[in-house]
Amino acid sequence: MDNKPKQQELKIELSPEVASGQYANLAVISHGANEFFLDFISVAPNMPQAKVLSRIVMAPENAKTLLSALGENVQRYEATFGTIERKMPKNPMPGKGGIPNPFEA
């Protein structure tokens, strides 16, 4: 006789509004003693400010599980499509919002 507890299936609802998604090209992560805050932002070039599009608040244990799941998915992606390379400007413009390339001497 099998005494293992049966896993209950979780039914997840995805509304049409959420299914369309939000594009974010910046994430700001902060934390307190009991939770992590993930703010997702879409920044446009040459714009002095941007609004947070979505904030996710997670328990530390769930944040660590997310970190692991994201790492596994990046590995699978790279195994299928190749290494993800960070794009850095070749000639950043100092004082114009350019980001210096830390990999160049």
pLDDT in tens, 27-85: 999 999 999 999 999 999 899 999 999 999 999 999 999 999 999 999 999 999 999 99
Instruction: Compute the distance between CA of residue 63 and CA of residue 30 in angstroms, rounded to an integer.
Output: 11
- The answer to whether residue 97 is domain-embedded is no
Could you tell me the CA-to-CA distances from 68 to 27, 57, 75, 82, 99 in Å, in that order? 17, 17, 11, 20, 29
pLDDT band at 89 (very low <50, low <70, confident <90, very high): confident
Eight-class DSSP state of 48: S
- The answer to whether residue 105 is domain-embedded is no
Q: Which domain holds residue 60?
A: 23-81
- The answer to whether residue 72 is domain-embedded is yes
- The answer to whether residue 62 is domain-embedded is yes
- The answer to whether residue 86 is domain-embedded is no
Q: Domain tally for the chain?
A: 1
Which helix (H) or strand (E) segment is 73 a member of? helix 60-81
pLDDT at 25: 94
Residues, the chain, total? 105
Which value, in Å, is the radius of gyration of the alpha carbons in the chain? Answer: 19
pLDDT of 105 > 70? The answer is no
- The answer to whether residue 58 is domain-embedded is yes
Provide the residue type at 2 as one letter: D
- pTM metric for this prediction: 0.71
Alpha carbon distance, N-terminus to C-terminus of the chain: 66
- The answer to whether residue 91 is domain-embedded is no
